[in-house]
């Protein structure tokens, strides 16, 4: 008891990160959080149970804990309860943790193929990630739409906790208009450290708008039953012409 009391005393007045960490530090809850991050939209309890490979009673208990900790929120849709992340800040925390965490080894050809698809292109909550997302960020920098982020010059603490706001370049309005995104007066442009590329990709409201527009134009397409994306031939041609971006 004395040791426990001492530890509590030392943490008084500090953020209780151990409570949040304990919620994430469970395979089933982590799987559900990653599924919600991937989809960027509400999912039913049964869908989340399937992602976590657990039964409905266990899923209900885990989701209650996540909701109690403020990581997810629940809304009723008819008879169903639909769950989603509490906000993009939770998605950014998950992406930052993923950039620090080691990859679990793949054991089957299916798992290896799935990982390769995620590395190539995927959604990260509501924006584009993977090799495609990081390459798009670089292309936007080269065309003067975004200001480069020199990761080596950033404090390690900032890199690990998310890269934060990113400045717009002098050609931002023109370049983003090419991909169908009109800039508002107050632009929420942020950058995440991509966990598979160790380079930035665009997030925030601007990143979400770019992702939505490319999906609506059919430049990127969802792969079935995964957050992985593929770039269509139309998208490859458009991005090559508009941003000199070659998609491998």
State pLDDT tens for residues 142-159.
999 998 876 545 444 444
Does the model's pTM come out above 0.75?
A: no
Answer yes or no: is pLDDT of 53 > 70: yes
Q: What number is the average pLDDT over the span 62-77? A: 93
d(CA 157, CA 224): 36
Q: Which long-range contacts (CB under 8 A, 24 or more apart) does 179-187 make?
A: 179/210, 179/213, 179/214, 179/242, 179/243, 180/213, 180/217, 181/206, 181/209, 181/210, 181/213
State pLDDT tens for residues 173-185.
999 999 999 998 8
- Which domains are assigned to the chain? 2-86 (1.10.10.10), 96-102+109-243 (no CATH)
Residue 136, token pair as written in the block? 């798009």
Q: Which residue has the higher pLDDT, 192 or 38?
A: 192
Find all residues with CB under 8 Å of 149, minimum gap 6, and list them.
163, 166, 191, 200
Q: Which long-range contacts (CB under 8 A, 24 or more apart) does 214-221 make?
A: 214/128, 214/179, 217/180, 220/121, 220/128, 220/132
Answer yes or no: is pLDDT of 219 > 60: yes
Q: What percent of the chain has pLDDT over 90?
A: 50
Per residue, what are the HEC states of the chain? CHHHHHHHHHHCCCCCHHHHHHHHCCHHHHHHHHHHHHHCCCEEHHHHHHHHCCCHHHHHHHHHHHHHCCCEEEEEECCEEEEEECCHHHHHHHHHHHHHCCCCCCCCHHHHHHHHHHHHCEEECCEEEHHHHHHHHHHHHHCCCECCCCHHHCCHHHHHCCCEECCECCCHHHHHHHCCCCCCCCCCCEEEECCCCCCEEEEHHHHHHHHHHHHHHCCEEECCCCCEEEECHHHHHHHHHHHCCCCC
Give pLDDT, residue 35. 86
Q: CA nearest 91: which of 225, 22, 194? A: 194
């Amino acid at each position: 008891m004395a040791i426990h009391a001492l530890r509590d005393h030392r943490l008084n007045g500090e953020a209780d990160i151990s409570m949040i960490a304990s919620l994430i530090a469970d395979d089933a809850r982590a799987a559900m959080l990653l599924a919600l991050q991937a989809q960027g939209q509400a999912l039913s309890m049964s869908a989340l149970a399937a992602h976590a490979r657990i039964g409905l009673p266990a899923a209900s208990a885990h989701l209650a804990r996540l909701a109690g900790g403020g990581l997810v929120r629940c809304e009723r849709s008819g008879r169903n309860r639909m769950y989603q992340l509490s906000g993009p800040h939770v998605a950014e925390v998950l992406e930052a943790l993923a950039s620090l965490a080691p990859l679990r080894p793949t054991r089957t050809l299916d798992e290896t193929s799935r990982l390769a698809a995620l590395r190539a292109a995927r959604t990260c909550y509501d924006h584009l990630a993977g090799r495609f997302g990081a390459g798009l960020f670089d292309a936007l920098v080269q065309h003067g739409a975004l200001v480069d982020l020199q990761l080596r010059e950033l404090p390690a603490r900032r890199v690990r906790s998310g890269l934060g706001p990113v400045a717009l370049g002098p050609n931002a309005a023109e370049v983003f208009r090419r991909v169908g995104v009109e800039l508002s007066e107050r632009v929420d442009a942020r950058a995440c450290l991509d966990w598979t590329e160790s380079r930035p990709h665009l997030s925030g409201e601007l990143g979400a708008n770019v992702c939505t527009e490319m999906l609506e134009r059919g430049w990127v397409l969802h792969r079935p039953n995964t957050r992985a994306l593929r770039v269509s031939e139309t998208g490859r041609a458009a991005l090559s012409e508009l941003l000199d971006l070659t998609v491998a």
